[in-house]
Structure 1
Amino acid sequence: MTSLNEIPARTETVELEPLREDKKKIFEDILKYFETNQSGYIKVPTGWGKTFLSKHIMKKYYDEGKFVLFLVSKNNLLLSQTYYNRKKNQPLFPNSALLSSERRVDRKELAATLRALGQKKGEGFVLFASLQTVLGKQSAEIKDLILKFTDLVIVDEIHNFINNRGNDFLNEFGERTKILGMTATPFQGVVGNVKFVDEIAGDMREIYAKTLPECILDNELAPLKYTIAESSEDIFEIFDFEKGLGELDKQDLFLDCSTPDRLKKVIRRTQLAKDVYDSMVIQRHAKTLVFCAPVRKRVYGAGGDDKEINAFHAKLASSIFNGDISAKKFEKDIEPVLPVDFKNYTSEGKFRDAVFISSELPKDEQNTILAAFREMGKPPYVLCTVGMLIEGFDFPGLETLILLRPTLSMRLFEQQVGRVTRLSPISGKQQGNIFEISDSIDSLYQRFGEGVFSGEKVDQVQMLQPEIRLEELFSEGDAARAIEEGKIEIKKVELGLRGKGKGAKVTEVPVRLPPTAIRAKYFSRLLALTEEKDVGAFEREKRELMRAALKFRVRELRDAEELAELSANINKLKREAYEDRRLGDVSRQHKPKVFGEVEWLLKLQALNSLKYEGGHLSLPEKNRILKTMGFEPDFRKIDSHRLKCLKLGSAQKTIPELVKVLGFVSRLSSSETYQFLDKKKKEQWKRELLPAVYWGFCFIEDSPELKELFESTEWDRRVKNIIRQK
């Protein structure tokens, strides 16, 4: 790279394939947005082409002689892919530089170039940089020059910049610098502690969004088949819960391989993935990516007395897929001994059918593995990894994904799914296939009992169910139509008893979304825990039950039937609570009311989903659902039915009363006021006023005042934080 002062007037042009007509419109909308705004982001699924769109935006600024910064966080692979023109094996932009930990650049020369850039107008320049390198001590001068002269910052995977050093860096730019974020998942964190891209800056707004189902319906992404295979293992016996439900505060669970028995269970679970693969993947030379789980404790009987094995599960999975290890053999071994030397290569030095990749491997070897994996029709066909390749791994030819790691992060889950949704004319891929191995989570309710009422642990526990994650993944856009047209398939699979392997008998059962039966099952567990308790005012239990009630949806008559049965059970518990002689005066006063309020809120939520999400249903179908839920079968009266639920279940009988109380909650929940309430007042406030938050949520569309209140990020965050407190 030479100094700008030494660069003659540029004659070469940047060649890019033209944008499709629909993306041209988005391109123009983004440019128009930045005429009056400083920062914004687009939200589109992985594989949609956001990086390609960003190259056209870069070119626009570049051709106008402006300075563009393309910024990523901890993703040198993505940075390099964007910097280079693969076809010509040279930088995409002639006047550009790549600054990352893997690309050593003379920082003094780069600083001189940037200084000259600020003095010499009309010469476009693009700097592709890693956030961590820009913020490093050796790049202090470069950082200052970037902040001074940058016209446009494009941040790929901007969700990695939420409330951290990246957030702070973006807020250092002056008003003249435009900031465009791109993401498939505009949030970060696990259930109970999720932060959004909008929080990066006050004027950070969504410019454009498109959902995964919409992209599949528009043939921009491949059709998707998601298959769930249930293992016979108890999740408590497979994963490490040493810190109890606190383990759910992280994005991943850790495997526990610390004893021979637990290691056998892990091998059985991984073998199930191999059996499903052998039975259902017809094209054996299709490329398959396996996401494995991290291991916290030392692996038993492998790698020496004290030596831990890095990326153990990825190595174990590759050995199982290669047939080196089988669950059947290990069942007979009292002291199972694994191969100390997990191998990626045959004795002739060629890749085996299944290999692993990990950060401990030299960079050259990692690149060699990835290059070989991308080559169609040749081994390796199966690539096993733990945390690598979740973001920024661009391989349209990937046909199959196997998930062996339960995650509590929807962002991580969506990124994983996005690995197989890219279209590939080269491989001729007809659809992306995903297989997830899921475990029984019933033991978590049995072992931790009331502990599931702490914070948002109920939501975290249920996130371990694939159906719950899939419901959230397909909650936006026209997912129902994509499912009806067969472009999205969700199945459960059971392997027959007549043997395993290729050609084994496979039974597939469609999975319904919303997963009402699963939600009802775990909702009933919360009801049972509440029913067993005989002390207190039950305010915490009521909040959790009310919050869970708002997650139900009615899409068809069967959903209504399951909710009607659940509602009848709640009503039964309410009647029994009036006669419960175990209860003291306080509990006798509150427990029946808790069940009564939850019952009517559940019915209200069913009516809400019918009103706002029931456009696919005919009028007779809607009336049958109303009758099933115990209401007059006349859809014209649905709003009067909703108000009836509010009147019978809530302390506030009308919407104006709700508005008044929630306005009071808003004022009271401010830090200036809440901190001065004594403990007794706080408990009284939570018990008597906070339930109005859940009722108010159901009437947002009926009241401009409630809509404005609930759309206030500050108020929403304040109230949520208070609700989460024990």
Structure 2
Amino acid sequence: MTISNEASAEMETVELEPLREDKKQIFEDILEYFETHQRGYIKVPTGWGKTFLSKHIMKKYYEEGKLVLFLISKNNPLLSQTYYNRKRTAPLFPNSALLSSEQKVARKEIAEALKKSGQEKGEGFVLFASLQTVLGKQASEIRELLLEYTDLAIVDEIHNFINNRGNNFLNEFGERTKILGMTATPFQGVVGNVKFVDEIAGDMKEVYAKTLPECILDEELAPLKYTIAESSEDIFEIFDFEKGLDELDRQDLYLDCSTVDKLKKVIRRTQLAKDVYDSMVKQKNTKTLVFCAPVRKRVYGAGEDGEEINAFHAKLTASVFNGEISIPELEKASDPVLPLDFENYTPEGEFTYAAFMTSELPKEEQSSLLAAFRETGKPPYVLCTVGMLIEGFDFPGLETLILLRPTLSMRLFEQQIGRVTRLSPASGKDRGNIFEIADNIDSLYQHFGDGVFNGEKVDQVQMLQPEIRLEELFSEGDAARAIEEGKIEICKVDFKNFRKGKGKGKNVHASEVPVRLPPTTLRAKYFSRLLAITEEKDIGAFEREKRELMRGALRFRVRELRDAEELATLSTQINKLKREAYEDRRLGDVSRQHKPKVFGEIEWLLKLQALNSLKYYGARISMPEKNKILRTLGFDPDIRKLDSYRLKCLKIGSAQKTIPELIKVLGFVSRLSSSETYQFLDKKKKEQWKREFLPAIYWGFCFIDDSPELRELFESTEWDRRVKNIIRQK
């Protein structure tokens, strides 16, 4: 530990670069917010400068003689980076301390400093600490003093404090302590089971937010080019689905390298990443970070005793990038032998061109590896890792990111993207480049069929599609403008013939094809699958299918006429299924009563969602094209009647025909959906709740900006997470 407690006035000066004018206003707004509130959080992309802003807030409280706690969930480089001044020659705040498991800390000395600051006042004190050390047994006195005397707690990556020990610790603070959270991703979990920062406490509110496209347009973050390289591999063949669709409830899929065939497929997929790098990264002396996939089972050929290899895919990827594995020889061999003595150093003791970062490396080696990676013009130029460096890794000079790790967590995805969004005038970086290796996911529908929908795994399966994640990533802010201006580029590359031409003297290049957002064609494809499965069923009331169809309908966006044409085709298909359901003699009485109604409701909800796109996201669509879109959707081409068309959809499609009826029903849902109430409902009541009331949530969400009462309901912290996941999935 270091406690700095210098008495001289000169040493008490906290030197910080001034805030930009726009951030000065945010700074003032945050201070004003905390005059009347205890808790709040800001949501800004990685690289925006939230840590720098927090230093100015800390300085304000420090100079007022307050006790400040800067808290992170676990030890990472950010903690010490924030503690020290810019030159790392001394602590930023003269009267401060650093408490982490990596420091040899005199805990008693820290406790005395906290007690002095809390009792005497007049002299500010800042403690920089990780949650794991604050909650440790040796820090019990420090923890009690913090709970008693802290004036301001700034919590970085506050999404790591949702419904856990960190959440409990924050809730132990009394009313005197202000709590400011900072995050780029205010949620945790996989699609369909997401926890949100505002669940930490009822008064945890968003104070300020800015989206990634907005930051790119304002030149606060680097422009992005995102390239999708489709592999020829079947995702079911190379990833471990031993537990079936339950594997989709995790944030990561695990590679299966347990047989010779599977191992070859994994190596071919990894070689594709190398081909992409060789073809598309022109400056090989720039730095590239590769996120690799975890491996659960024993690796084929790893030894007779069946041991697992820590971070095997990171080591394998480094070997592929270093040219240590010959793909032609591998393909010929019936029993390939891998270089299992993976090494980060050349015979001369230098780092290899591509290196791997794993938790088993000694801390000193990890530090020297990262230092070398940050150094321009020296190896390693490619750094491969699995779960490390996703948070707390600040390297503005990083130019390229390669994703070999399919994820079902938007939080994890956004954090990965954030590694290359920082601006770097020193390196001359003009944009961040991202390459993702994407696999064929159609096999999941073939292998699991109806189970994909019955298990409500549609969203998870689709999240494995890069376009779906990118639409979610750029769903807020003016992404359309950023794409139009070339600040955000998204494309696919075809590498099918790349290796065939290699080594034959041919000038082979990967062909790029622009990717449109929203990916309406892709969504329509999956939506049609669900319609087909629903059509084939002839029993039940179709509640589950209805919920999945409604969820899917609210995913669509209309940005241009082509999107409306896709939805019009779907609408025609649904209308045909509705007519056929009325005449289907296979159906029992219950099914014949419900199935046509299900299709009818979905048809009008789909049209309502298209109209909402025009109303809320149509600023960049010309008036003539808006009228063409209306005509395509089956309405008179008069944009002035847009709201009346929206109400028509509600009247024809929903059980609640007006907004007041929706308010009445959703008020009841709000009371009923609380955990305390829901757990006491019998099975019959729960089924009624799902069948009669949950659909109203989707309809109500479409009119949230038309009614203050609906907005108040949907923003309520009382609603159970089952409802919140429906609300916020859009």
Q: Distance in 2 between matches of 1:390 and 1:126?
A: 27
Report the counterpart of residue 687 of structure 1 in structure 2. Answer: 691
Q: Contact (CA 8 Å) 1:344, 1:351: kept in 2 or not?
A: yes
Shift of 1:715: 2.7
- The one-letter code of the counterpart of 2:64 is E
1:33 shift after superposition: 1.7
Match of 1:539?
543
Q: Who is 1:301 aligned against?
A: 301
- How far apart, in 1, do the equivalents of 2:279 and 2:153 lie? 48
| Structure 2 match to 1:221 | 221
> Residue 242 in 1 paired to residue 242 in 2?
yes
Q: In 1, are the aligned partners of 2:238 and 2:262 still within 8 Å (CA)?
A: yes
- CA separation of 1:93 and 1:303: change in aligned 2, threshold 3 A: farther
Instruction: Give, in whole Å, the separation in 2 of the partners of 1:341 and 1:636.
Output: 70
Q: Point out where structure 2 has 5 or more consecutive residues left out of the alignment.
A: none
Residue 56 of structure 1 deviates from its aligned partner by 1.5
Give the drift of 1:663.
3.1
Offset at residue 595 of structure 1 (A): 1.2
Deviation of 1:574 (Å): 1.6
Q: SS of 2:295's equivalent? A: coil
Task: Determine if contact 2:224/2:487 at 8 Å carries over to the other structure.
Answer: yes
Partner of 2:122: helix, strand, or coil?
coil
In structure 2, what is the Cα distance between the partners aligned to 1:323 and 1:540? 50
Partner in structure 2 of residue 423 of structure 1:
423
1:396 corresponds in structure 2 to: 396
The offset of 1:665, in angstroms, is 3.1
Q: 2: CA distance between counterparts of 1:674 and 1:439?
A: 40
Partner of 2:341: 341
Q: State the match for 1:612 in structure 2.
A: 616
TM superposition outliers: structure 1 runs of 4+ over 4 Å: 1-4, 500-503, 670-677, 720-724
* CA deviation string 1:409-460 (max 9, x = no partner): 1111111000001011111001000000111111111221222224541111
What is the CA-CA distance between 1:184 and the residue it aligns to? 0.8
- CA displacement at 1:99 relative to structure 2: 0.7
8 A contact 1:710–1:716 mirrored in 2? no
d(CA) in 2 for partners of 1:19, 1:653: 52
Structure 1 residue 722: Cα displacement? 10
The residue identity in structure 1 corresponding to 2:418 is: G
Residues 84 and 91 in structure 2, CA contact (< 8 A), matched pair in contact too: yes
- Answer whether contact 2:670 2:718 (CA < 8 A) is retained: no
Report the residue type matching 2:170 in the other structure: L
| Native 8 Å contact 1:76 1:102 kept in 2 | no
Which residue, 682, 701, 710 being the options, matches 1:706?
A: 710
Q: Distance in 2 between matches of 1:102 and 1:2?
A: 12
**What's the CA shift string for 1:118-156, capped at 9, x where partnerless?**
333322221111100010001101111111222211111
Unaligned runs of 5+ in 1: none
The aligned residue for residue 38 of structure 1 is: 38
Return closer, same or farther for 1:26/1:3 CA change in 2, 3 Å cut-off.
closer
Map of 2:373 onto structure 1: 373
Does the 8 A contact of 1:546 with 1:694 survive in 2?
Answer: yes
| Structure 1 residues 303 and 340, CA gap change in structure 2 (3 angstroms) | farther
Deviations for 1:374-419, whole angstroms, at most 9, x for unmatched residues?
Answer: 0001111000000000001000000000000011111111110000
Stretch of structure 1 that moved more, 46-55 or 575-584: 575-584
How far does residue 701 in structure 1 lie from its aligned partner after superposition? Answer: 2.2
CA drift of 1:209 comes to 1.1
Deviating more after overlay: 583-592 vs 507-516: 583-592
Q: 1:190 — aligned with what?
A: 190
Residue in structure 2 matched with residue 632 of structure 1 by the alignment = 636
Shift of 1:11: 3.0
Residue number in structure 1 paired with 2:89: 89
TM-score of the pair, normalised by structure 1: 0.96
Distance 1:303 1:358 in 2: 20
Q: 1:555 to 1:363 in 2, by over 3 A?
A: same
Q: CA deviation at 1:87?
A: 1.5
CA drift of 1:478 comes to 0.9
1:302–1:339: 8 Å Cα contact kept in structure 2? Answer: no
What CA deviation, in whole Å up to 9, does each residue of 1:452-497 have, x standing for no partner? 2245411111111111111111111111100000000011111262
1:202 aligned residue: 202
Partner of 2:530: 526
CA drift of 1:102 comes to 0.6
- In 2, Cα distance between the equivalents of 1:532 and 1:271? 42
Deviations 1:41-74 (A, max 9, x none): 1111111111111112222222222221111011
Q: What TM-score do you get using the length of structure 2 for normalisation?
A: 0.96
Q: Distance in 1 between matches of 2:722 and 2:587?
A: 34
Aligned to 1:512: 516
Counterparts of 1:82 and 1:3 in 2: how far apart (Å)? 15
Measured after TM superposition, the shift of residue 675 of structure 1 is 4.7
**Residue 306 of structure 1: CA displacement?**
2.5
Give the whole-Å Cα distance in 1 for the aligned partners of 2:658 and 2:308.
63
The letter for the 2-side match of 1:712 is S
CA shift in 2, pair 1:487/1:2, >3 Å: closer
1:175 CA drift (Å): 1.4
Equivalent residue number for residue 468 of structure 2:
468
Contact 2:158 2:197 in 1 (8 A): yes
Q: Contact 1:496 / 1:507 at 8 angstroms: preserved in 2?
A: no
Cα shift readout 1:603-647 (whole Å, capped 9, x = no counterpart): 111111111111111111000001111111111112222222222
Contact 1:560-1:628 at 8 Å conserved across structures: yes
Query: What is the match of residue 649 of structure 1?
Result: 653
Distance 1:405 1:496, change over 3 A: closer
Q: Which residue of 1 aligns with 2:604?
A: 600
Structure 1 counterpart of 2:122, one-letter code: G
1:178/1:622 CA distance change after superposition, 3 Å: same
Say whether the 8 Å CA contact 1:550–1:602 is kept in structure 2: yes
SS in 2 for 1:34: helix
**Judging changes above 3 Å, is the alpha-carbon distance between structure 1 residues 8 and 2 closer, same or farther for their aligned structure 2 residues?**
farther
Whole-Å separation in 2 of the counterparts to 1:702 and 1:490? 34
Q: 2:595 aligns with which of 588, 591, 596?
A: 591
In the alignment, the residues of structure 2 paired with residue 155 and residue 676 of structure 1 have an alpha-carbon distance, to the nearest angstrom, of 36
- Does the aligned pair in 1 maintain the 2:198–2:717 contact within 8 Å? no
Amino acid at match of 2:641: K
Q: CA deviation at 1:723?
A: 11
Match in the other structure for 1:231: 231
| Aligned match of 1:325 | 325
Contact 1:670–1:718 (CA under 8 A) maintained in structure 2: no
Partners of 2:45 and 2:471 in 1: CA distance: 16
Match in the other structure for 1:558 = 562
Tell me the distance in 2 between the aligned counterparts of 1:75 and 1:412: 18
Give the superposition deviation at 1:19: 1.4
Distance 1:145 1:372 in 2: 40
**Identity of paired residues, percent?**
82
What's 1:181 paired with?
Answer: 181
Preserved CA contact (<8 Å) 2:673 2:720? no
Distance 2:676 2:637 in 1: 49
3-state SS of paired residue (1:252): coil
Matched residue SS, 1:276: helix
Q: Secondary structure of 1:493's partner?
A: strand
Query: Which residue of 2 is the match for residue 166 of structure 1?
Result: 166
Partner residue, 1:458: 458
CA drift at 1:117: 2.5
| 711 and 7 in structure 1: CA distance in 2 versus 1, 3 angstrom threshold | closer
1:87 match: secondary structure: coil
Deviation string for 1:56-106 (max 9, x for gaps)?
222222222222111101133111111122415322222221111111101
